[in-house]
Chain A
Amino acid sequence: MAYSDKVVEHYERPRNVGSLDKSSEQVGTGIVGAPECGDVMKLQIQVDDDLNIVDAKFKTFGCGSAIASSSLATEWLKGRQLDNALDIKNTDIVKELALPPVKIHCSVLAEDAIRAAVRDLEQKLESAGKLPKKEAAATAGE
């Protein structure tokens, strides 16, 4: 299977590999996938007091396309407002990385990981009173 140059580039020089302190009030963590399915993504975001995403990290068990999708997601997340994090859609990732149809699930997983990290952080912020409580509908899409 031939990979696009961008997938290869992210695989060889992944951006933002690592971990943030998951116990921090300003860090949201999303872990999606399962080892028996062949992909697990952990994606973390950190915000400042103005809810700007100041850092994003990932670790991924999966194929090159899964690694590239999560690497790209962290790149796109950094510098965004938390509110805009969910604007990143799997279709954007597919386009940017030129993923073939059989690899679209990798981009879906990356989008899921973003959602999971954002939700985790929002819950922390809500319980700390820094964010108003959201309706349950915000978590739809699972």
Chain B
Amino acid sequence: MSKRVYLDNNATTPMDPRVLEAMMPYFTEKFGNAASRSHAFGWEAEEAVETARKQIASVIGADSKEIIFTSGATEGNNIAIKGAAAMYADRGKHIITEVTEHKAVLDPCGWLHQNGYDVTYLEVDREGRVSAEQIQAAMRDDTILVSIMHGNNEIGTLQPIAEIGKLCKERGVLLHTDCAQTFGKVPIDVNEMGIDLLTVSGHKIYGPKGVGALYVRRKRPRVRCEPIVHGGGHERGMRSGTLDVPSIVGLGAAAEIAKSDMASDASRVSGLRDRLMKKIQDACPEVYLNGHPTERLPTNLNLSFAFVEGESLMMGFKEVAVSSGSACTSASLEPSYVLKALGVGDELAHSSIRFSVGRFNTEEEIDHAAERVVATVEHLRKMSPLFEMAQEGIDLSTVEWAHH
């Protein structure tokens, strides 16, 4: 097998060696419990945690007291949504979200729905966007929370969070945004954008897995979340449990690097992504971009290859790690709900591949990936009955298929 190429950076990223270096002492000699107030071991750990808090807060224009540490974006989303819903239930029980959210938002919303809350799931447009107008139209007197992700993990579409935040402020409704894909990659300012709750993941920003953060606004308004995990009252009572100091140090270091390199990283990564798209589209006809052409993550490229199926594509370039919205890659045999929500048609969902580029990819890797993709598309189109029919001038949408 030739050299492996990792183009699945929206799934997870390799840890930056600088992050690992920062973490190392906290596994061994600096092992203290950050909650130990009675000795220097604890103080040392606490100081490291507070540094990380500042490093994270500074990426989003927040105060370090507004950052609580979690085990990752799933927990952050759960605390934000279920915690805010429980805390503000006396004000109302209506929540607004959108159909293309990550499962870590949809499932807590679904759980709330089963427990007496009302949830509105907004549809997205063909490019995966919701508008502030849609949210305004969905708002009711009992709406307490809007949860709209900043950047979509599958198709990369960025949502107009600042406009949504402005609306939420006017209506006195809390805004939560899942920034697992955008924190440290796209500029965010919680005050300018009117964000009250914001989810961060460590392993999407070249930091460790199993750690994340949640921004919880402390002023105008002061936001509280009921805890999901009860215990020693750590993290302002919102998330009990002894802090994972090495991981938190890693998350802080990753955030600091992301902030200082954001502009250069974004332009380099999006340059590689655009190079990949151009090389593929120049060589293959009928390759379509899913998501928004400009309002998108710098890392993400989601393409549908007409007439070929996603899993068979991935099989053809096994050494290039990507993911697919094809049904065949999931146990459910249902194609991606995100792509379906765009209305691109199930057949294009089955034909989709997500390439996600990261800090450590090189031009050579991109060129190699493009070459392998093009060769595989050609190999598969030669054996595709759909390609043959299209070549014969048959409109595939008019064919009566034998459904099974």
Contact = CB atoms under 8 A, between A and B. Distances in A.
Interface in B317-343: 326-329, 331, 333, 335
Interface in A1-43: 1, 3, 8, 11, 14, 17, 19, 31-42
A67 to B, nearest CB: 6
Contacts of B308: 61
Interface in A100-117: 102, 105, 108-109, 112, 116
B402 A61 contact: no
Nearest to A43: B385
A64 B311 contact: yes
B295 interface: no
A19 B388 contact: yes
A64 to B, nearest CB: 4
B350 interface: yes
B133 to A, nearest CB: 31
B345 to A, nearest CB: 7
Contact of A61 (B315, B316, B385, B403): B385
Contacts, number: 94
Given A35-B346, A64-B315, A41 B385 contact: yes
Interface string B108-123: 0000000000000000
A61 B380 CA distance: 8
A33 B404 contact: yes
B404 A11 contact: no
B317 to A, nearest CB: 12
Contacts of A38: 309, 326-328, 333, 335, 346-347, 350
Nearest to B328: A63
B404 A62 contact: no
A12 to B, nearest CB: 8
A8 B314 CA distance: 12
A1 B331 CA distance: 11
Nearest to B401: A34
A31 B385 contact: yes
Contacts of A1: 329
Given A36-B350, A61-B307, A63-B326, A42 B404 contact: no
Interface residues of B, number: 30
Nearest to B384: A61
Contacts of A63: 309, 311-312, 315, 326, 328
A80 interface: no
A118 B345 CA distance: 32
Contacts of B309: 38-39, 61-63, 66
A59 interface: yes
Interface in A59-94: 59-67
Given A38-B328, A61-B309, A17 B383 contact: yes
Contact of A32 (B331, B350, B404): B404
Contacts of A32: 402, 404
A11 B312 contact: yes
Contact of B345 (A36, A59, A116): A36
A17 B382 contact: yes
A36 B402 contact: no
B187 to A, nearest CB: 38
Nearest to B324: A63
Contact of B312 (A59, A67, A109): A67
A60 B383 contact: yes
B384 A59 contact: yes
Nearest to B402: A32
Given A33-B402, A34-B401, A109-B404, A3 B386 contact: no
Given A11-B312, A61-B308, A31 B402 contact: yes
B383 A59 contact: yes
Interface in B388-404: 388, 396, 401-404
With most chain B CB atoms within 10 A of its CB, the pick from A36, A61, A108 is A61
16 contacts: A14-B383, A34-B401, A35-B350, A35-B401, A37-B346, A38-B309, A60-B385, A61-B308, A61-B384, A61-B386, A63-B311, A63-B328, A64-B311, A65-B328, A112-B404, A116-B402
Interface of B: 307-309, 311-312, 315-316, 326-329, 331, 333, 335, 345-347, 350, 382-388, 396, 401-404
Q: 5 tightest CB-CB pairs across the interface, nearest first?
A: A34-B401, A36-B346, A35-B347, A42-B385, A59-B385
Interface of A: 1, 3, 8, 11, 14, 17, 19, 31-42, 58-67, 102, 105, 108-109, 112, 116
Given A1-B329, A14-B383, A40-B401, 5 more contacts: A32-B404, A35-B396, A36-B346, A38-B309, A38-B333
